[in-house]
Structure 1
Amino acid sequence: MKKKALFFDYDGTLISDETHTIPKSARKVLNKLKDKGYLLFLNTGRTKAILDPIISELDFDGQILGCGSYIEYHDKVLYDVDVDKQLYEAIIQKVAECHVDAFFEGTHALYMTHGIQSPRLLNLLERYHDANMVMKSVDDLEDDFVKMFVSYQDLDKEQEFHDFIIQNFEYIDRGQHCAELILKGHSKATGIQFIMDKLNIDIENCYVFGDSNNDLAMFRFVENSALLGNANEHLHEEVMHVCSDVDHDGLMEAVNAFQLL
């Protein structure tokens, strides 16, 4: 029997956006899938530094982090990339010039700009602090980052920063004048391709589960795709199944739609 691999987004797919916990129903589904012998992978935009400790309680075979920029399989690092010094120094300068609130997400820490005002970023900081994640000033940044999350203080500078950063980063609009930035050449889809090549898994035996815009690359790459929650209506046409959110047994609904259990 050929191996089947299942790839799960984290925020909004496994963990509730309302309670910031993993519902018991989702844990139960993952345990059943593991017992069936499927390969289970976390496939998240989060980097290792801001991965919830609760993830260690889930029995994943591997992790694709930072939208394909860091890959582990059975606790062995298979792929890891960083931004080079010349580029990150230029980015830091442009962030300051354009008055951008920014998180620089790395493997070892989350680095942040000074004087963050964005309510969205402040809310994330509170969550990360409560989870005892390593957070540092952008002054301590070296080459340990591959992703950014930005929020614009000066909307007149938004286009200028956008035009600068898209030379080296994929730009995902997250609404409310915020954006997720991913090093070019990387996505949740490239992470899946890497695992497919490494483990000799056919694409028809891959299944993906997500809920938002940064899952679009894997939705378009893997036909067996499920969207949890129906808030992002523009994604409906990109997936095979649209299911309830994770708080309302959406993960079980998605798994059953593929007849995996």
Structure 2
Amino acid sequence: MSDKKVIFLDVDGTITTYENVIPASAKRAIRAARARGHKVLMCTGRSKAENPPELIEIGFDGMIGGNGSYVEVDDQVLMHVHVSSEQCAHIVDWCHGRGLEFYLESNNGLFASENFREAARPVLRRYAGRKGVEGADRLETDDVMHGMVYGAELYRDDVNKVSFILSSYQDYLDAVEEFSDMKVGTWGGAGETALFGDVATKDIDKAVAVEKVVEHLGAGPSDTIAMGDAKVDIPMFQACATSVCMGSGGEEAKTAADFVTTDVAEDGLWNAFSRLGLV
């Protein structure tokens, strides 16, 4: 693709602020880069149902969702790896048995457990507060998470991954042992300060998905740029020639990136695109 780049963008904390606000400069950067012939794709832990209309309307050349479990380019699905219905039932039963609230992440919606809205409220406020969000103590669960569905069937066959609220770090350690045939991680903080655990299909991450996209587009490794803000983005950084961490990102992600731009709310995306000559 010569001078044309394939740009992979995390969403939360990269395109949007942590309270789901998309800076005008981020929209402008993405549209300007695409107008110059670069390919821009979301590469996110979100499933499609989590993307509000304002995000979709920016315009993208594709999406990697579920931290790599779903890959779509130009409306063509290249890969979609589901948690099996048996695995889903196992996770749901395990969470219920421990009294942990959770949600199932699907392209058809985010299907929440019975008391998730109430249980998640203080946890998400803490998450937003750590990120420096103004008014974090007034946020509601549905302000932070788009696409939540309450009261739906929880034994499903369309799930990309499952996130659950940690009552302690021991929940994560026990989940690693319980779901040894799957990939278990944490998010919402570093190490033992994590707020959520998540369970997904083994051997799938953002790097695997990036490679599929690059191959499909006939691009070379040197044509790739990744931008993110969190530990989960590091495999994407490693799979791309150039990596950028947001100023609002975590220390591990900053260390792994080639350079750090400004915070997402301080034109971080636009400033990085400008520095890289994409706009």
Query: TM-score, normalized by length of structure 2?
Result: 0.84
- The answer on 1:120 being equivalent to 2:120 is no
1:15 aligned partner: 16
- The equivalent position to 2:177 in structure 1, one of 150, 163, 187, is 163
What residue in structure 2 maps to residue 77 of structure 1? Answer: 77
Q: Give, in angstroms, the shift of residue 114 of structure 1.
A: 1.9
Deviation of 1:74 (Å): 1.6
**Partner residue, 1:102:** 102
CA offset at residue 188 of structure 1?
Answer: 1.4
Identify if the C-alpha distance between structure 1 residues 34 and 234 changes in structure 2 by more than 3 Å, giving closer, same or farther: same
Query: What are the superposed Cα offsets for residues 191-230 of structure 1, whole Å, 9 maximum, x if unpaired?
Result: 1111111111111100011111221110122130000114
For the residue of structure 2 that corresponds to 1:255, the secondary structure is helix
Distance 1:120 1:212 in 2: 18
Which amino acid is 1:212 matched to? A
Tell me the distance in 2 between the aligned counterparts of 1:92 and 1:139. Answer: 11
| Conserved? CA contact 2:63–2:72, under 8 Å | yes
Matches within 5 A, 1:152-231: 152-153=166-167, 157-175=171-189, 176-231=194-249
Q: Secondary structure at the match of 2:68?
A: coil
Structure 1 position 234 matched with structure 2 position 234: no
Give distance in 2, aligned partners of 1:127 and 1:230: 20
Q: TM-score with structure 1 length normalisation?
A: 0.89
In 2, Cα distance between the equivalents of 1:192 and 1:156?
32
Residues 42 and 60 in structure 2, CA contact (< 8 A), matched pair in contact too: yes
CA shift for structure 1 position 138: 6.0
What's the secondary structure of 2:159's corresponding residue? coil
Q: Is the contact between residue 82 and residue 159 of structure 2 (CA under 8 Å) also seen in structure 1?
A: yes
How many residues matched? 258
- 1:256 corresponds to which residue? 274
Following the alignment from structure 1 to structure 2, what is the Cα–Cα distance between the partners of residues 90 and 39? Answer: 39
1:58 equivalent in structure 2: 58
The aligned counterpart of 1:41 is 41
Greater alpha carbon shift after TM alignment, 49-58 vs 187-196: 49-58
Aligned partner of residue 146 in structure 1, secondary structure: strand
After superposition, the Cα gap between the structure-2 partners of 1:156 and 1:211, relative to the gap in structure 1 and judged at 3 Å, is closer
Indicate if the aligned counterparts of 2:229 and 2:254 stay in contact, CA closer than 8 A.
Answer: no
Query: CA 1:13–1:154 in 2, change beyond 3 Å: closer, same or farther?
Result: closer
AA of the residue aligned to 1:165:
F
For the aligned residues, what is the CA RMSD? 2.3
Counterpart in 2 of 1:142? 156
Compared CA separation, residues 151 and 23, structure 1 to 2 (3 A): same
- More deviation in 161-170 or 198-207? 161-170
Kindly indicate whether the alpha-carbon contact (under 8 Å) linking 2:81 and 2:201 is maintained by their aligned counterparts in 1.
no
Contact 1:105 1:145 in 2 (8 A): yes
What does residue 29 of structure 1 align with? 29
The one-letter code sitting in structure 2 at the alignment partner of 1:145 is: V
Moved more, 205-214 or 72-81: 72-81
* Percent of pairs with identical residues: 25
SS in 2 for 1:216: helix
**For the structure 1 residues 73 and 177, does the alpha-carbon distance in structure 2 shift closer, same or farther, using more than 3 Å as the test?**
closer
Q: Name the SS of the counterpart of 2:46 in structure 1.
A: coil
SS at 1:100 equivalent: coil
Unaligned stretches of 5+ in structure 2? 126-138
